[in-house]
Structure formats: structure tokens, C-alpha cells
Amino acid sequence: MIFYFGNDQNFLDRMVAFYAGNPLTNKVTVEKEVFRSNTILDKMTGVRPYAIVLDFTNTCENIEELFVKINYLKKSSKFRGIPVIGLFTDKEDFEGHRHLFALGLNYPFIKGTDERILFRDIHYLSFETDTPFAKFAKAQFNNLSYRAEQLAFIYGYTKDSVLIESDLFQNDDTSRILRIYLVDKVREQELRSKKLFEVGVLTNSLNRTEYEIPFLGPWDDPESDLIHKDSYETWIEEGSESLQTKNGRILIASENPEDFRLAGELATNFNFDIYVTETFEEAKVYLESYNFDVIFYRLSEQEEEQGSECNFENLYRLTNAVKNSENGTHTVFVAFNSPSRTNAIRKALEYEHIVSVEGDMTGEQLSSYTNVFQSKGSKNSCSTNCYSLGSKSSSLGFVLDMEISSMTEHELTFYSSEDIPMYSLLDIDVPTELQLLIVPPIIHLEHGSAGKHYMGFIVGGTETDYEVVRSFVNRAIIKGLTSFTTLPMEEEDTEEGMPEAVEAGATEIIISEKNKNDVTISENSGGRAEVVRKTNLNGKTKL
Amino acid sequence: MPKGNLLIVEDEKVLSDLLKDLLGPHADSVAAAYNGREALDAIEAQTIHAIVCDINMPVMNGIEFIAKMRELGHKHPIIFYTAHGNEVLMREALSYGAFDFLAKPNFDNLEGTVRQALDLGLKSTQPNESIEQELENILDKK
């Protein structure tokens, strides 16, 4: 089942008709709900959909809050991997919501473009198989160099560093070129990574890396783009409404998906950094990386205990991990569903800062207990010492070198020496500004000397953008390309001189760069290159 | 005001008698069982409001006893009175619902804890403690 949240009945009817009209997809059902946060969360908690389509063209909801909540729910193994598609009115509308990609949106679609492509892509993102893709004219290139940007996000700033969340695999002590917002503007700078947080401890992306901010040194050119440490510190200290420090950190350990929803509520109502986990191993990783003010631990009920990880033995291991950490016994544990009383637990676990609650975890309890930490926070808090920027300014780009091997109006293939996880989103600007969603390839791709061979769906364009892409591909097929750049249209490249792009369902046409005057007709093999799916400890992919 | 009936489950007769004498004034009656099996029979046969129980005992130990009694639907509060070195078993007892653990051979807090357990057993409900207050106490101590 696909959930469509919005109020465009015509769009819904076309989606339903599309899936019903093909034997490969006719088992897909679509359910419509008018856009309301609670309905979405209720629906998701009840039934796991294949995909969620959010129609932003007719909503006045607090989208950011909704995304935070959806994302917390998606951290539960039951809901992990559900693709979330956003429908926008136009490019401006999409740009205004760009930060939502840091909060869980996976695929942008601008209404007015070919919906059949969207419907097929949703099917592929949901099932990764049996999708009746259209075959488009393909230009093949002899590995043309290009620089894309991998979308990443600023988690926050400390006194001398910036914490960046991204899906690109990072290493300690290496430099990267970033386009990043510092003090007053976006700057392109080379930053050195200082600390890499373990994969798995992250809120939304696959990793979080701390980068040193390169301040202006005594021997640097004062006219350079480097910033003065003083002005940076003033910016942080005085801050503005957009720079907020979190009160502290909370971890919720539970195997109940409903509690992940409670985490979302807590994250939107309190200025705490909220983490959730359903596995002991991940909880341990969290504790190795961070200090927490409180850990809300939901013990599994006796009937759930078979194979359950949320038991007293693991609670004991976690309290031990806290005792052995640098800050000792700062963390308070609240154990829900506990058949034993507080004193018994304290003695058996040899840990004083623990409270037993007989009943199950509820939103009211979590809020009420969090209030205690908020009110007492100033001297006890595990302050994050990290200032977050308003989300709309928080996106940035990692410069990513690649070699383009082929392009259609829907897909682009390229080689890269980087490990790029599936479902990462890249920004491209050739032939026009678009996004590239990295997907498991729909045709067989061999890796080469230039690196791993990737495929991305070209997304986020308007009808005009796709016309530009179509024209670019056609021109590349006919005239060839020696560099992957947008060249001014020449006289002879007008429509009359161009062949028409191959329509959906036709045979794929491939013209190689080295032999561009020969037209090779080949069937789409349907074969698949080996998919290297990068995951965190929980098997979470970007989706 | 009824004080409630107490069951002492302890395989060492000398200690069992000592506990009986010590806790007698705090309960309406004190019964004794010398292993878990006898204790199960006792709670089936008479009205018991709280239990003081050793962990290491012959025939049926304290953990097997609490597991079996919970399985049979008995919700009595149990105070485990146990020697040092039983930490693993103590953690195992937690999942069955332990009221408290007290360290042998000390009697510190024993009477007060037994009174609380008997009160709870008589009311058959958990006292309505404020978790918020407990959290505040922890944070104030830190």
C-alpha cells in the first residue's frame, strides 16, 4: 500500500490507474488521506506502507515537525526504509523545502512533469524489482569529468568546529572541500575532519563528522575567505534566533515502534537532542559517543521477552558502561514496565541513579520527566555545547568528483572513487540544476578503473528542465561531448536538426562516444550490477 | 489496623527463627518455609501478604520459587535476604518482580522494609509514588 497525503484527487486517480494498468504493478494499492500530522502518524503506526507521498502543493501543516516525527518512526525496524516522496508546485517551492532532505524526505517531484516516471520510480524505490521502466535515448560518454555536490547538513557549531551530517563515507584527519555557511555567508572552504562519530549514532544521515574551522592565521592573507576566530566566537556567543544550543541529550531505548513516535513528540516539544534505539549494540555505541542526561528504557513485557534485547541484563550492561565512562554516573535511567521496585533495581544493578516505573511508557510521562531535567538542567545537564543553525540555512555540499559514463533524460551513470550509499542525493548543474538520487542500477554496470559504477535517477526538475535534459542528451548522441558542461545552443541544434527522444516502451538506443556515428540498437538487459548497500549498525539505509 | 501475614523462606533454621523473632512484632503472623517448594505450598494454603526469601536454598531456590509463584499468578512482594556473591541471581530475580534486596547477615533496614512490603501486600497496589520527585532527588544529589 502507498499512502498519499494530500488533496489532489485527480493526481491520486492517475496514480491508481497507472498501477492498476500494468500486470507488474497491479497489486499496488494507494490510499488517500487529507494531510494532517496525526493522521499520517496513526496510519504509519498501524500499517507499514511501501511508500509515502506527501503533496506539499496544498498543505499548511507544520511540515518540519511532521518530518521529525516521521523520521523518528522510521528509525524503528518496522518502518525503516520507507521512501518518502515530496510533491512540489514549482522549483521555488522545492528550494524552500530543501532542508527537509535532512529530515527524511527522499525524492522531490515537481508537479506538471511526467507523472509516469514518478510512479515507476516510486515502485522501484519500494520494491527494487519488476518495475516497467521506460527506455530513453541514451548518450554514452568516454568518462567525462564532472564535479557534483553531495547534499549534507550542518548539525551544529561548537567553539571551533562544525558538525556535519552526511551520507558520504568519511575518514578521520582528511580534508574535504565544502560549500558551507559560516558567520554570514556561504563559503567554499577546505576543512579537515577532526572526529568521526560511529555510523549508527546519527539522527538522519549515515554519519556525523566534526570538522575544524580553518581560522585566519597571522600569516594568512587578510583578504582571503578565512574568518577571524574572534568574529566567529562573537557570532556563536551572541548568536541570533537561529543559533540555539540544546539543553542536553536523551536516549530512548525501546523495541516498541509506538515509542519511536513518542520520541518524535519529545523532539518537537523540548529543546533536547533525542536519540532512539531498539538494539543493545546501538545503545552501547551511543553511550561510547555521548553522555546522556537520561535514558528512558522500556523493559520488554514477559510475553515479549523471547529474543528481546530490552531486559535487565542489558540494562545492567548499560549502567556499567555509564559507570565506566569518563563522566561516571551522570546519566539517570528510568526503567519502564519494571516489575521490580526502584530499591531492588538499584541494589541488583549497583547503580544509584535509576528509577523504576511500573507501567508502560507514555507521552505524558516522558514529557513530565523531561520537564524535571529541563528545570534542573543548568547544573546537571549533559549540555551539547553545540549550536544549531536554523534548518533552512543548514544544507551544504560536499564536492564530489566523478566521471560520467552515460545519460538519458531519466538516468545518469558515473564512476566515482568515493563510496556513495544508495539513495544519497546529489546536486548537479549540467545541463541545468537538478538532483540525482543514487539508486541500485536498473541495468548491469561494471565497475572500472575510474572507480565504482553508480546510477542515479535525475529528479527534482520542471518540465522545462527535462526538455533541456532531453535536448542535451540528443545533442550528445548526435554531436558527442568532450566535456560534461552546458554549452550554448548552436544554430544547427534547433529542434528541426534533432532526432526525437525515444518514447517510453521503445527500444533503447545507445550511441557510444568513440563511435558516435554508429547507432547500436540494444535491449535493456534488465540485469543488475551488484548493489553495495551501505548501512549503519541497524541495517539502516539512507531511506 | 491489620499488619499482614509474613512468610519467611530460609533453609537455615537458626536464622529463620531469629528472623521470626525479629519480625514477629511487625506482622499479624509469621510463617516459615525451608525451601521454595514448601513456600509454594504455604502461599497456596494460607493468606500471605509479603515474603522474606533467601536465594540459595536446597530443593527449590529463591529464583525458581519466584518464577513459579509468578507463573501461578501470585503477586506477593518479595524481599530477598541474601548473602554477597549472588549478583547474577539478583539480576535474574528483577525480571520476576523483586521488592527489595537486603544483605545477609545484616538486619539494617529489614524491619522498615518488611513493614513497607506488608503494607503493599495488604493494599495489593503499588503506592502512588511521584517519579518526578524521585528524579528531582537524584538530580539534587548529583
- Whole-angstrom distance, CA of residue A15 vs CA of residue A118: 9
Chain A residues touching residue B135 (CB < 8 angstroms)? 294, 332, 334, 355, 369, 372-373
3-state secondary structure (DSSP) of residue A165: strand
Note the pLDDT tens digit of each residue in A191-211: 898 887 755 554 567 778 889
Same fold for the pair A1-130 and A247-383: yes
Share of chain A above pLDDT 90, in %: 33
**Mean pLDDT of all residues in A120-130:** 90
Helix (H) / strand (E) element for A314: namely: helix A312-323
Please give the mean pLDDT across all residues of chain B.
89
Question: In A, which residues are within 8 Å of B101 by CB distance?
Answer: 343-344, 347-348
User: Cα–Cα distance between B135 and A442 in angstroms, integer?
Assistant: 55
> Per the structure block, which three cell numbers stand in for A25?
504493478
CATH 3.40.50.2300 is right for the domain spanning A247-383? yes
The answer, for B139 touching chain A at a CB cutoff of 8 Å, is yes
pLDDT band at A474 (very low <50, low <70, confident <90, very high): very high
Would you state the pLDDT for residue A79? 83
Omega before residue A431 within 30° of 0, cis: yes
Distances (CA, A) of B41 to A247, A319, A463, B6, B48: 54, 38, 81, 14, 11
- Identify which of A179, A212, A180, A207 has the alpha carbon closest to the alpha carbon of residue A193: A212
Q: Per the structure block, which three cell numbers stand in for A483? A: 566535456
C-alpha cell, A356 = 523504576
d(CA A460, CA A472): 17
Q: Which sequence spans correspond to the domains of chain A?
A: 1-130, 247-383
Q: Looking at residues A352-361, what average pLDDT do you find?
A: 93
Higher pLDDT, A201 or B73: B73
Average pLDDT of the residues of chain A? 81
Inform me whether the pLDDT recorded for B11 exceeds 70.
yes
Interface of A to B at Cβ within 8 Å reads: 294, 299, 302, 305, 311-313, 316, 330, 332, 334, 338-345, 347-350, 352-353, 355, 357-358, 365, 368-369, 371-373, 376, 380
| Residue B132 forms contact with A (CB below 8 Å) | yes
Judge whether B136 is closer than 8 Å to chain A, CB to CB.
yes
A151-189 pLDDT, tens digit each:
888 888 888 888 888 877 777 778 888 888 788 777 888
Secondary structure (DSSP) of A380-438? H------EEPPGGG-EEEEEEEEEEEEE-SSEEEEEESS---TT-EEEE-SSSSEEEEE
pLDDT of B65 > 90? The answer is yes
Q: Is the pLDDT confidence value at A535 over 70?
A: no
Least confident of A114-118, A148-152, A364-368, A536-540: A536-540
- pLDDT-based confidence at A320, cuts 50/70/90? very high
| A264 has a pLDDT exceeding 50 | yes
Taking an 8 Å cut-off on Cβ atoms, the answer to whether A347 and B135 are in contact is no
Q: For residue A528, name the pLDDT band (cuts at 50, 70, 90).
A: very low
- Chain B residues closer than 8 Å to A311 by CB: 95
Domain spanning B5-141 has what CATH number?
A: 3.40.50.2300
Most confident residue range from A151-155, B69-73, B83-87: B69-73
Cβ atoms A119, A15 nearer than 8 A: yes
Highest average pLDDT, of A395-399, A471-475, B106-110, comes from A471-475
pTM, to two decimals: 0.79
pLDDT tens per residue across span A504-522: 443 443 333 333 333 332 3
The pLDDT-based confidence of A531 (bands split at 50, 70, 90) is very low
Domain A1-130: CATH superfamily is Response regulator (3.40.50.2300)
